[in-house]
Amino acid sequence: MTPVLEVRGLTKHYPGANALEDAGLVVEAGQVHCLVGQNGAGKSTLIKCVSGAVRPTSGTVEVDGEPLPPGDPVAAFRAGIATIYQELDLVADLTVTENLFLGHELHRVGFIDRRASAAAARELLGRLGHDEIRPGALVGELRPAQQQIVSLARALSRRARVLIMDEPSAVLDDQEVEAMFRAIRRLTAEGVGIVYISHRLDEVATVGDTITVLKDGRTVASALPATTPAAELIAHMIGRDLGDLFPDTGSSVGESVALRVRGLTRRPVVDGVDLDVHAGEIVGIGGLVGAGRTELLRLIQGLDRAEAGTVEVDGVVIRPGRPDLSVRAGVGFTPEERKSQGLWPGWSLTRNVSVAALGRFRRAFLLDRRSERDDARTHLRSLATTPDDPDRLVAELSGGNQQKVVLARWLLRDCKVLLLDEPTRGVDVGAKAEIYRVIRTLADGGLALLLVSSELNELVGLCDRVLVVREGRVVAELAGDELSEEKILEEALAR
């Protein structure tokens, strides 16, 4: 039986980097084929080549046995390939119906047939089990889960044979994910082949039929059953066992207190927090969503103004609500939303790294561009950033490497204290291992790190101590034998 999609020998070379090297993929009709791998493994490049958005250097893409011309999105569309990207490409100010048929409207006597379009929209949504979505509703007023269903219905409207879904559950809660899975099963029942890309291996096991693993642009495992243990998948993805994920705990904790917080308060989110972080120490902040973890870091950095309390760096008190003074004192901050709050996507790596320390490159009224570029490259290389080309746009990097760019910024600034808010959010397992190594290396170099994470294994595997926050207060300090995932959760949930 001919596969609905077959990719053979797909290769894509960019100047200085190989994004894909002889990659392959076979998807059967009615199958959910999961594609996994680290950030930067080549998943995005592969699906862009399949959809015609990128022209491969070599290799072939076939739909139902018919080869597609390379780099031709119109041909891919006509062959029945539809792609739902992580950032949905719906038009918020148009109705559901208008989005479903955008670019291939239903006409009658030269005009758009709105009645037929609305009826067709209802039929498509009904096939996905979502009659509650009104065809006349504006897409911008729908919940993220409903918008995802509209994207699925649009693929149906185009008679998709192959549907590619890139991290479709990123903004959905558990119930919404289950609803999406039901819609996916309706599509596969109609013979649609689905390529499902996700970092969440539990989802892969739930919705998938088979798995392909990419690493460094190559297919390193294919036709794996969806029941493949997560540890085995991770070993394929990172090239080593899961036990090597966290670096060995260092012995670099110093005597001096680099960060001292006393009575820090901004009710109702933070209430009388005391904490110390020593030079060379990694202190974790655990707790449930809404416990005040991010708000605590923002108060320490001065991004929000505290009602009471003090923040000291190396014994120097920082005036509340003054992030500029905090940075001058040596405090760096990597926000949870790095793309919108921590990076300038249209800027080069050099400028993203140097932006917090431009003064050191000032020569009279000009910037010493060569020194700025050389220093940025030095710090990018020290963090094993890939690629480390200082002229590259930061938007072109994977999530894990973008996080390294933010870290390089504060290394260039020679900060003493680094506040990390969910440093591995949206980062795959392999990139996490690299970031963990970087964080431990920074601590071993004498930096004091305060780290917020929702991943309990991350807190246990990486931190010297963990402070558990509940309702804006520190309710427990865990270290040594007391530090475990179960204990963190117990303290976070206690009443």
The mean per-residue pLDDT over the stretch 94-99 comes to 92
**Residue 467's pLDDT band (cuts 50, 70, 90):** very high
- Domain boundary among the residues 241, 269, 304 is at 241
Looking at every residue in the chain, the average pLDDT score rounds to 88
Tell whether 214 and 286 lie within a shared domain.
Answer: no
Tell whether 182 and 266 lie within a shared domain.
Answer: no
pLDDT tens per residue across span 33-61: 999 887 668 888 999 999 999 999 999 99
Tell whether 167 and 49 lie within a shared domain.
Answer: yes
Phi, psi angles (nearest 5°) of residue 9: 60, 30
Say which residues have a Cβ less than 8 Å from residue 33's Cβ, sequence separation at least 6.
25, 26, 27, 193, 194, 195, 196, 208, 209, 210, 211, 212
Confidence at residue 41, expressed as pLDDT on a 0 to 100 scale: 81
The mean per-residue pLDDT over the stretch 172-190 comes to 84
Range picked from 7-21, 161-175, 188-202, 292-306 for highest mean pLDDT: 292-306
Q: Tell me how far apart the 2 most distant CA atoms of the chain are, in Å.
A: 82
Q: Would you say 261 and 311 are in contact if contact means Cβ atoms under 8 Å apart?
A: yes
- Domain boundary among the residues 187, 214, 241 is at 241
Tell whether 234 and 281 lie within a shared domain.
Answer: no
Confidence at residue 241, expressed as pLDDT on a 0 to 100 scale: 55
Whether 424 is covered by a domain: the verdict is yes
Share of the chain above pLDDT 90, in %: 46
The mean per-residue pLDDT over the stretch 201-229 comes to 91
Tell whether 49 and 155 lie within a shared domain.
Answer: yes
Tell whether 323 and 277 lie within a shared domain.
Answer: yes
Whether 141 is covered by a domain: the verdict is yes
Range picked from 3-7, 436-440, 443-447 for highest mean pLDDT: 3-7
Q: Which is more confidently placed, 176 or 189?
A: 189
The mean per-residue pLDDT over the stretch 356-378 comes to 87
Tell whether 288 and 191 lie within a shared domain.
Answer: no
DSSP E strand stretches across 236-292: 257-266, 270-278, 282-286
CATH code of 282's domain: 3.40.50.300
Q: How far is CA 70 from the centre of its chain?
A: 29
Whether 392 is covered by a domain: the verdict is yes
Q: How many domains does the chain have?
A: 2
Whether 195 is covered by a domain: the verdict is yes
Tell whether 88 and 127 lie within a shared domain.
Answer: yes
Stated pTM of the model: 0.59
pLDDT tens per residue across span 445-454: 899 999 999 8
Tell whether 220 and 345 lie within a shared domain.
Answer: no
Confidence at residue 384, expressed as pLDDT on a 0 to 100 scale: 80
Q: Is the pLDDT of residue 495 over 60?
A: no
pLDDT tens per residue across span 261-309: 999 999 989 999 999 999 999 999 998 878 899 999 999 999 999 999 9
Q: Is the pLDDT of residue 239 over 80?
A: no
Task: Name the residue range of residue 236's domain.
Answer: 5-241
Whether 471 is covered by a domain: the verdict is yes
- Domain boundary among the residues 214, 241, 268 is at 241
Whether 247 is covered by a domain: the verdict is no
Tell whether 222 and 287 lie within a shared domain.
Answer: no
Tell whether 129 and 98 lie within a shared domain.
Answer: yes
Q: For residues 226 and 215, what is the distance between their CA atoms, to the nearest angstrom?
A: 18
**Residue 240's pLDDT band (cuts 50, 70, 90):** low
Tell whether 197 and 316 lie within a shared domain.
Answer: no
The mean per-residue pLDDT over the stretch 332-351 comes to 87
Token duo for residue 213:
């693993």
Confidence at residue 243, expressed as pLDDT on a 0 to 100 scale: 56
Whether 27 is covered by a domain: the verdict is yes
Whether 373 is covered by a domain: the verdict is yes
